[in-house]
Copies of this chain bind each other. A is one copy, B any other.
Amino acid sequence: MRDAFHENLDRISDELVEMTTMVGQAIERATTALLDADLSVAESVIAADDDIDEVRRQVDDRCVDLLARQQPVATDLRMVVTAMHMASDIERMGDLARHVAKVARRRYPSGAVPDDVAEIISAMENVAKRLVAKTGAAIADKDVHAAIEIAKDDDEMDELHRTIFNTLLSGEWSHGTESAVNLTLISRYYERFGDHAVAVADRIVYLVTGSYGTVDEGLVTNA
> Which A residues contact B (CB, under 8 angstroms)?
57, 63-64, 67-68, 71, 73-74, 77-78, 81, 84-85, 88, 95, 98-100, 102-103, 165, 168-169, 171, 173, 177-178, 180-181, 184-185, 188-189, 212, 221, 223
Contacts and interface: CB of A to CB of B under 8 A. Distances in A.
Nearest to A65: B77
Given A180-B181, A184-B181, A185-B188, A212 B88 contact: no
Contact of A85 (B88, B177, B189): B88
12 contacts: A67-B77, A68-B73, A88-B88, A99-B221, A100-B223, A102-B221, A168-B178, A169-B177, A169-B178, A180-B181, A181-B181, A181-B184
Given A181-B165, A185-B223, A78 B95 contact: no
Contacts of A173: 177
Contact of A99 (B74, B165, B181, B223): B223
